[in-house]
Amino acid sequence: MTTGPNAASPHARVLADSNKVPWLGLGVWQVPDGPECVNAVRWALELGYHHIDTAQAYGNEESVGRALAESGVPREKVFVTTKFNPNGKKPDVEAERSLKRLGLDYVDLYIIHWPKGGPTWAWPGMERARELGYARSIGVSNFNVDELEKLFAVATVYPVINQVKFSVFEYRRKLLDAAEARNVALEAYSPLGTGSYLSDPTVTRVAERNGRTPAQVLLRWCVQHGLPVLAKSTHRERLAENAQIFDFVLSDADMADLDALDTTGRTDRAVESAWW
């Protein structure tokens, strides 16, 4: 069981294929293409983020690419993820288009955004994208245990990440355990409940007990469970706040209080209701 940042992996989680994903990333879901997105990515890079998560479906890969280019940060210092939009047909062809929009030679991680049309049909194209050097690592998103198992049954190269909605209120314990058993890292999106969990009384109490903010507690809880976590903000001061999660540790009692907020019954599902 991976237990989060520790002496062996303080900054990044080592994936099954030996690539390393930084524990904290900036997610740009719902950030419009243009100055807002360019600024968010630029500030994040200035503040020491080394991990940016975008997607074909977000429509903002060009802004991410612009900020990366303008930042002057060496390419190998940033972990960039994009996602195959399964409304398309050919993951390898779409990866090449993403690279053009991003202005990059490769992404660090390329994942199937959701299992539209079933969990396996797109995988050969994902493997091809990796073979062609478009992506260092490949994985999935929004896959439940059953879908992961079906994919493992046919894959030549196994997925190394499953990115899912994961938070104190969505503590998908059975999905986490099954993923870990396969050496698939779950990665958390919407850890703040798109902002709605920040005022929860238990979260606030734990934050006060630790002299931290609710956002820092919600993010730290994810990494202490071994999940690389994506936080979204378009405000520089919030990006700075969210990055301060590696200089404190939630106690076992704090973790237990937060674990108890789960509303999913420790589910093995990745989503409560499919949008596809």
84: closest CA among 32, 132, 123, 27?
A: 123
Rule CB under 6 A: choose which of 25, 159, 191, 228 binds ligand A2P. Answer: 191
Residue pointed to by tokens 């409304």: 87
- Phi first, then psi: give them for residue 78, nearest 5 degrees: -120, 135
- Give the residue with the Cβ less far from ligand A2P, 15 or 215: 215
* DSSP output for 21-86: EESEEEE-TTPPTTHHHHHHHHHHHHTT--EEE--GGGT-HHHHHHHHHHH---GGG-EEEEEE-T
Q: Which of 195, 249, 260, 274 binds ligand A2P (CB under 6 A)?
A: 195
Smallest gap, in angstroms, from Cβ of residue 58 to ligand A2P?
13
215 in contact with ligand A2P (CB under 6 A): yes
Of positions 63, 82, 85, 242, contacts ligand A2P by CB under 6 A: 242
Using the rule CB under 6 A, is 212 a contact of ligand A2P?
no
Residues 6+ apart with CB under 8 A from 74: none
Tell which residue, 207, 261, 192, 176, has the closest CA to residue 26: 192
Total residues at interface with ligand A2P (CB under 6 A)? 16
- Indicate the residue among 118 and 195 with the shorter CB distance to ligand A2P: 195
Phi, psi torsion values for 177, nearest 5 degrees: -65, -40
- The least distance separating ligand A2P from the CB of residue 127, rounded to whole angstroms, comes to 30
Q: If binding is defined by CB under 6 A, does position 210 make contact with ligand A2P?
A: no
Residue 231 within binding range of ligand A2P, rule CB under 6 A: yes
The least distance separating ligand A2P from the CB of residue 1, rounded to whole angstroms, comes to 24
> Which residue lies nearer to ligand A2P by CB, 15 or 231?
231
Q: Which class for 184: exposed (0-12), middle (13-18), buried (19 or more C-beta within 10 A)?
A: buried
Token pair listed for 35: 């100055």
Active site residue 110: no
Applying CB under 6 A, which residues contact ligand A2P? 190-195, 198, 215, 231-235, 238, 241-242
Active site residues per annotation? 58
